[in-house]
Structures are given as C-alpha cells and as structure tokens.
Amino acid sequence: MADIHIDDFCRDVAVVLVTLWNAFPRRHTIYVEDVSGPDETDEVGLHSNRFHACLGSMLWLADEGYIRYESLVYREGIDQATLTEKAFVALSAASDVRFDDPIDPSLPESVAQQKQTLVAQIRMALRSGSSNNINQIVRYFFTRASL
C-alpha cells in the first residue's frame, strides 16, 4: 500500500519552502488552500483531513526549525512566515540530486550555479508533478538541512 499521506506531506513541504524562498527575506502569509488546493467544509464547518494534514505540515516545519511564523490565521494558514537560517542555507546550496538536463555550457556562470541549487531542483520536481521526484528532493532537503 502506498503512503499517500507521505506523498502529500512532501509536496506540501516543497510548496511551502519554494513559496517562502520566493518571498525571502520578507515575511509572508501562507494559506492552506494555496498549498493543497481548494477545500470545502462539511455540513458542520469542518475542513477535510487533507486540509488538516497540510496545516500540520506547515506547523511541523516550524516545530522542527525549518520555518518560523508569528501566528495562525484562523487555522486557515500561517502569518508572517519566513525561512530559518538552516532552511535558507540548505536551499541555496548545490544539490547532488538533479532532475534537469546537463547545464548548458553557454549559460553565464551565475545562472548555471543557480540552476544547481536545491531550491531550483525542488522547483523542477514540483513542475514535473512526479511524486517520486518530489519525495526524493524533499528527503534530500531534510538530510542537507540537518547537517
């Protein structure tokens, strides 16, 4: 049996990290629906398990020191979020896991170096839509960030 919840967790982590990278160093509000997609509440106003799992992923990232935030937004998201130094350093480092073609030698060196960073590889994995690629790069991120 596939661990779909782990696939969802890795995708949520990847989206949150890229979102905060794109806003860095500014603080940013992240809503669950922007990460996991639209969610409709049930007849008593409760969100789905998927919605709660996505919020849980964001809170777990904060608990483990990858992001920080100031407050919850009505259990709909996190407010004033930013990457921690640990996450920033890991995301900006060169990645040993690559999903793209070899770097074009005609590219300027600065562009070639940026395409090799972990955050660039996370973006590529997300664009591919491959759960395998997303899981692989997120697990690599956790390994890098824990060094």
Dist. CA 100–CA 141, nearest whole Å:
17
pTM of the model: 0.92
Domain boundaries, the chain: 4-145
Q: What are phi and psi of 140, to 5 degrees?
A: -65, -40
- The percent of residues in the chain predicted with pLDDT above 90, rounded, is 72
Which residues does 125 contact at the CB level (< 8 Å), separation at least 6? 14, 99, 133, 134, 136, 137
Q: Band the pLDDT of 22: cuts 50, 70, 90.
A: very high
pLDDT at 105: 73
Query: How does pLDDT run across 50-96, given as a tens digit for each residue?
Result: 999 999 999 999 999 999 999 999 989 999 999 999 999 999 999 99
Residue 61 contacts by C-beta under 8 Å, 6 or more apart in sequence? 13, 16, 17, 67
Whole-number percent of the chain with pLDDT over 70: 95
Averaged pLDDT score across all residues of the chain? 92
